[in-house]
Amino acid sequence: MINKLIVALLPYLPKNFVWIFSKRYVAGKEVKDAINVTRKLNNQHIKATMDLLGEFQTRAEKIEYYKQEYIRLIEESVNNKLDNSFSVKPTMFGLLIDKDLCYKTIRDIVAKAASHGRFVRIDMEDTQCTDMEIDLYKILLNEFPHHVGLVLQAYLKRTLDDLKDLLAFDAGRGLINIRICKGIYNEPAEMAFKSREEINRNFLIDLEYMFRNNIYAAIATHDKKLVEGAYRLMDEHKMKQDRFEFQMLYGVTPELRKSIVDKGYAMRVYVPYGKDWFNYCTRRLKENPGMAGLIIRAIFIRG
């Protein structure tokens, strides 16, 4: 309750103040910050997926600016010989105002990454974007079969059907690569499971379908129960290590992350950076059960 109240107040607080307890979730505001954090993770045998923050853009100049930033990020990452992929949010490239411009812009980014043997994953946004983001994935998959992936959300009732549809589209090539996560947006009950139990049950149903059908699974969760469920399914399906990986967000549950890495499983951390950190951090703060405590501590630390 108090967490909800504080989240509602966040837009009214000075940004410098919100930054104090947000900065644990982002590498920093500049490319060099993302590079430094990724290098540190790589030194701990953890891969990264770098994400430039910003979403729901409507201005062509801004869309071009973000594209150039991604191109620069890819070049910097290659020059620094880092082990990372990239994540993109289609609304950053105008998905909701000009679908063709968005598809063309993301294609340029994927082409640049693929030319260096790098991988780009299309993040999944709210349900007004689901069909368009799946279509975009299918188009790019035909052109860059080994360098593009998608995210699906276990809270959506449609997700198992989407997996079946993608499997049919793949026609036995074994190219489908999905990050499965719970889902972060506030969706209506007709479309989305609402209780933790239902979402977790669906997550494991989706994951088992992926394991059974040779869909590469990026298991994105900090929920211990789901990590244990994934271990169980891996044993049951005798999964090969090169058909799945775990993924976590930067700054969240480092102990659980270490326990997975110590078992020898592949781990990739989502490393967001950029000047547009506010919306992303607000979503993370909402999910943090200790948020109220964090903010109260920040108030006192500030004096």
Counting contacts by CB under 6 A, is residue 271 touching ligand FAD?
no
In the bound complex, what is the minimum distance in angstroms from residue 295's beta carbon to ligand FAD?
Answer: 13
x/- track of binding to ligand FAD for residues 181-220 (CB under 6 A): xxxxx----------------------------------x
CA–chain centroid gap for 48, Å, is 11
Contact indicator for 146, 112 with CB cutoff of 8 Å: no
Buried/exposed code over 242-270 (b: 16+ C-beta within 10 A; e: otherwise): ebbbbbbbbbbbeebbeebeeeebbbbbb
| 287 sits near ligand FAD (criterion: CB under 6 A) | yes
Distance CA 296, CA 50 (A): 30
Please report, as residue ranges, which positions from 94 to 133 form the binding site for ligand FAD (by CB under 6 A): 123-124
Q: How many residues bind ligand FAD (CB under 6 A)?
A: 24
- Tokens read off for 146: 């080994």
- Strands 148-153, 120-122: pairing kind: parallel
Out of 188, 264, 289, 303, name the contact with ligand FAD by CB under 6 A.
289
Given the residues 51, 123, 162, 206, the one annotated as active site:
123
Give the active site residue among 51, 121, 179, 284: 179
**Element (DSSP H or E) covering residue 161:** helix 159-170
Least CB distance to ligand FAD at residue 262 (A): 18
Catalytic residue list contains 162: no
- Residue 67 makes contact with ligand FAD by CB under 6 A: no
Is residue 247 within the footprint of ligand FAD (CB under 6 A)? yes
Q: Read off the amino acid at residue 102.
A: C
Which residues face 270 on adjacent strands?
49, 249
Q: Phi first, then psi: what are they for 36, rounded to 5°?
A: -65, -45
Contact segment (CB under 6 A) with ligand FAD among 38-46, 106-114, 127-135, 244-252 equals 244-252
Q: By CB under 6 A, is residue 151 in contact with ligand FAD?
A: yes
If the CB atoms of residues 223 and 276 are measured against ligand FAD, the closer one turns out to be 223
Nearer to ligand FAD, 160 or 252 (CB): 252
Q: Whole-angstrom Cα distance, residue 102 to residue 97?
A: 9
Report strand pairing: 244-249 vs 216-220.
parallel
Judged by CB under 6 A, the residue of 57, 84, 105, 288 near ligand FAD is 288
Beta bridge partners of 181: 153
Q: Does 41 bind ligand FAD (CB under 6 A)?
A: no
179 is an active site residue: yes
**Cβ–Cβ < 8 Å for 1, 291:** no
Neighbour-count burial of 221, counting CB atoms closer than 10 A to its CB (0-12 exposed, 13-18 middle, 19+ buried) = buried
Given 18, 109, 284, 295, the residue binding ligand FAD (CB under 6 A)? 284
Catalytic (active-site) positions: 123, 179
Positions that interact with ligand FAD (CB under 6 A):
123-124, 151, 153, 179, 181-185, 220-223, 247-249, 252-253, 270, 284, 287-289
